Chain A
Amino acid sequence: MIRHGSRRWLIAALVAAFAVSWFSTRFNQYYLGIAIDVGINIILAVSLNLINGHTGQFSLGHAGFMAVGGFTAAKLTLLYGESLYPFSLIVGGIMAALAGLLVGIPSLRCKGDYLAIVTLGFGEIIRVIFQNSQFFGAATGLTGIAKLTTFFWAWGIAAVTIYVIAGLVNSTYGRGFLCVHDDEVAASAMGINPLRYKVTAFVIGAFFAGIAGALYAHHKRVLQPDGFNFIKSIDIVVMVILGGMGRTAGVVVAAIILTLLPEVLRSFASYRMIIYSLLIIGLMMGRPQGLFVWPIFKKNAKN
């Protein structure tokens, strides 16, 4: 997909995001807010796709990484001022990456459902820690965070995320992630260190989830530990699965659709979440390989 000129593609995307952002004051602020939501969800879904899709390590803890990044970044700008915003994004990402390293280690020993429950557990532990930490506002969380996330930041970083993850996977080095996904024993017989690839996937995935959390904090202006429970992780997993595991473009489209869907269904008010859940079931029955995977690209679904 992205092979040559991928850096040019990235620069074009960044310029476009900047241009839209420049005129953003003229847009309907409600729609602009949703657009930023979409950008953040793209980052989350694409980064989780590296772990769940490309590397095949079923993780249910993505919301935890998001929380680490969000709380870290929000606390930074609350304490030391708004000018630190870009720096806070990076620090949030790095803290989340460290958490990812920690979570990645059990992945060396646990597989499948066991790994899913371990990552879910890590996500919940992170949430409980924030809930009990006075420094991060305990159960009420952090409020009064400056609104600093613009269209440029959300979509610019989404473009960087896509570039990094698609670029990584589309290299000889990155084929290792797919090999680990397909067959760890055969991968190690080819000189590929499965452990290293798995941890790398967790660290990179967590890094971008952390940045997404930081963006989210400066977009919603309020952070509550309860917002990062495992239902949030599952929302992101659903995006990845609907997009087609390991298909970056599909996952991006799925993130867009699934973010817009609740807004579209808003007129059905009390029925919209029921419709959302029925949609998940219907899609799994009708298009389990993902919404945007057509037979010619179809992967061998033999998990």
Chain B
Amino acid sequence: MEWFVQQLINGLALGSIYALIALGYTMVYGILRFINFAHSDVLMLGAFAAYFVAPPVTHLFPPQSYAGALAVLLLSAVICAIIGMLIEFLAYRPLRRRPRLTVLITAIGVSLFIEYTCQHEKVFGAQLKPFPKLLAEQNFHPAGLSINGNDVVVVVVTALLLAGLWYLVQKTRMGLAMRAVSFNEKAAALMGVNINRVISFTFGLGSALAAVAGVFYAMRAQGIEPLMGIKPGLYAFIAAVLGGIGNLPGAALGGLALGLIETFAGGIPALSNYRDGIAFAILIFILLFKPSGLLGKTQVEKV
């Protein structure tokens, strides 16, 4: 039981991180219908942004305080939002009218470019860097359990962000524009929606969420390095597909599901080595029965 609750919290925290990343994948997909492979690198850049921002921030706020951590989180989110918009502007916008496959390969190219550039010794270098402690390690012990305080922070912040995102998409003008563009880009343009601004905003928003996820991920990892984004990026991608790509609640659900699966499978010794395989096996199994994901709408081809 104790083991179960601990794995549950742990899995929820990991799942929250995946959910935040998956939202970025799914939002871009919803609007541009392509998989932004560079998303996992934005997440890595978010962690690095925090790495460089954290020391100066300690001059303003007491170290390991919530205010300081929040400031770091916000700053790296802003930095990544700008990077995300820049990637869209430089690499994807010129290809807007091209076949999707072209854009997909470009995205792979952008991803490789960021990874290799950051690995270069004059940039970040390939070796593992210790990530600064943003928050003190504190463990709660309710009813004999041992719960990591940072895990709780991750879950709470994610829940707040999801609520905020829901409000943004459902209740604001920009959200309405986003939904309109994702439904029918041409019609939205004819209705006076500024497509470029919506797409730019979507990339910025997705990248900011990825940055937050990157910082959280780095807090749980042993250190950061330029390829750290690949694994969570891949998992979040699976999560987005699992939930039905293009579907926001689906991405959140898929992320949580994947985090839980990974933690529980990893907690069982006989399965832990097969962890990566199991996540994919479950995905394939689900797609066989629901080919467009858990919450995705089945596209019936009109004949």
Chain A residues within CB distance 8 Å of chain B: 58, 106, 109-111, 113-114, 116-118, 120-122, 124-125, 128-129, 131-132, 185, 230, 234, 237-238, 241, 245, 270-271, 273-274, 276-278, 280-281, 284-285, 288, 301-303
Contacts and interface: CB of A to CB of B under 8 A. Distances in A.
A113 B241 contact: yes
List of 4 A-B pairs having minimum Cβ-Cβ separation, nearest first: A121-B280, A128-B277, A280-B109, A277-B112
Interface in B273-291: 273-274, 276-277, 280-281, 283-284, 287-288, 291
A117 B238 contact: yes
B116 A273 contact: yes
A113 B26 CA distance: 12
Contact of A114 (B112, B113, B292): B292
A132 B273 contact: yes
Contact of A303 (B100, B112, B274, B288): B100
B102 A288 contact: yes
A106 B277 contact: no
Contacts of B116: 273-274, 276-277
Contacts of A237: 105
Nearest to B281: A125
Given A285-B106, A302-B99, 7 more contacts: A124-B280, A128-B273, A230-B234, A237-B105, A273-B112, A280-B105, A280-B106
B165 interface: no
9 contacts: A109-B288, A109-B291, A113-B29, A121-B238, A274-B116, A280-B105, A280-B108, A280-B109, A288-B98
B280 A281 contact: no
A234 B101 CA distance: 13
Contacts of B117: 274
A219 B86 CA distance: 43
Contacts of A111: 291
A114 B303 contact: no
Contacts of A117: 237-238, 241, 283, 287
Contacts of B23: none
B113 A278 contact: yes
A158 to B, nearest CB: 24
B245 interface: yes
Contacts of A276: 112, 116
B278 to A, nearest CB: 8
B112 A121 contact: no
B280 A125 contact: yes
A121 B120 contact: no
A269 B79 CA distance: 30
A251 B6 CA distance: 52
Contacts of A277: 109-110, 112-113, 116
Contacts of B288: 106, 109-110
Contacts of B245: 113-114
Nearest to B119: A273
A302 B98 CA distance: 9
Contacts of A288: 95, 98-99, 102
B108 A234 contact: yes
B241 A114 contact: yes
Contacts of A118: 283-284, 287
B91 interface: yes
Nearest to B289: A109
B109 A281 contact: yes
B69 interface: no
B95 A109 contact: no
Contacts of A281: 91, 106, 109-110, 113
Contacts of B273: 128, 131-132
B242 to A, nearest CB: 9
Contact of A284 (B109, B112, B280, B281): B109
Contacts of B292: 114
